[in-house]
Amino acid sequence: MTSALTAPDDGFYTPVAFKGAFTNLNWAADWGFAAESGLMSGAGVGIPRPACPPTEPVCTATTLGIIKNGANVDVTFASVPGATYQLFGSSDITAPRSSWAPLGSLTATGTTSTLSVAASAAQQFLTVRCQ
């Protein structure tokens, strides 16, 4: 399973000292058609350890709560602590997402977050995007 050849060190590939998806651990030995049909032995079976724990929060779809609060509109939504949320608005719901105007952003500290924007007489559609 070792190789004298290495991948280019160009920022895209990660050079390693082994060929393919296996080093000394055959993670596919008990998984899939090849294992079930006897085409692959159970030698070296195991579960690979991830290279590093995930560092980015996982964003999920959410429903917005919108309420007028004095001169503002408060937009409340379920959030994931550590995730960054941005509020966007548009007067045209059919406009491309890239043309919607940014109205505010926050990094969530809890499971419910609120973004506030100034209320206006003009109709505006709102959306929250997570990064």
DSSP code per residue over 17-42: SBSTT-SS-BTTTTSSHHHHTTSS--
Distance CA 31, CA 23 (A): 17
| 52, 53, 54, 57: CA torsion to nearest 10 | -150
Bridge-based pairing state of the strands 125-130 and 112-118: unpaired
The 3-class SS string of 68-101 reads EECCEEEEEEECCCCCEEEEEEECCCCCCHHHCE
Q: Where are the domains of the chain?
A: 1-53, 65-130
Sequence-ordered list of residues with C-beta below 8 angstroms from that of 27, at least 6 positions apart, any chain? 21, 45, 46, 47, 48
107 or 10: which leads in pLDDT: 107
| Confidence grade of residue 110 (pLDDT, cut at 50, 70, 90) | confident
Which of the four pLDDT bands, split at 50, 70 and 90, describes residue 116?
very high
The whole-number pLDDT of residue 22 equals: 59
Residues 60-68 have a mean pLDDT of: 84
pLDDT tens profile 8-57: 777 777 776 666 665 666 666 666 676 666 676 666 555 555 555 556 66
Please state the pTM of the whole predicted model: 0.55
What per-residue string of b and e applies to 48-57 under the rule 16 or more CB within 10 Å gives b?
eeeeeeeeeb
Per the prediction, the chain carries an average pLDDT of 78
Q: Does residue 84 or residue 37 have the better pLDDT? A: 84
Phi, psi of 27 (to 5 degrees): -70, -20
